[in-house]
Amino acid sequence: MDTGSRVRKTLAKALVLDPAMVRDEAQLVDDLGVSSLDRFELIMDLEEEFSLEIREEDLVGAKTVGDVIRCIDAQIKGPVTPLTV
């Protein structure tokens, strides 16, 4: 399973959403209803799924599911560059 599929599956499970809703272009807050508490829990779930340590600031600029996928992909491949707005 590729990074995108794993991220989408983790988000759908953590947020108790229909997996069809978790598309790359889906806005975390507007489309999926992610709150600041959800964001913290998602980081923990993603850390467990990918066996990585993810700093909250690494995902601060993540607005979409695709942003999260790119961030995780970058961390898997090397040093993380924080997403900025």
Q: Domains along the chain?
A: 3-77 (1.10.1200.10)
Show Cβ contacts of residue 71 under 8 Å, excluding neighbours closer than 6 positions: 54, 58, 59, 62, 80, 83
**Ordered per-residue pLDDT tens for the chain, 85 residues:** 899 999 999 999 999 999 999 999 999 999 999 998 999 999 999 999 999 998 888 888 899 999 999 999 988 887 555 556 5
pTM of the predicted model as reported, rounded to 2 decimal places? 0.85
Q: How far apart are CA 19 and CA 13, in angstroms?
A: 8
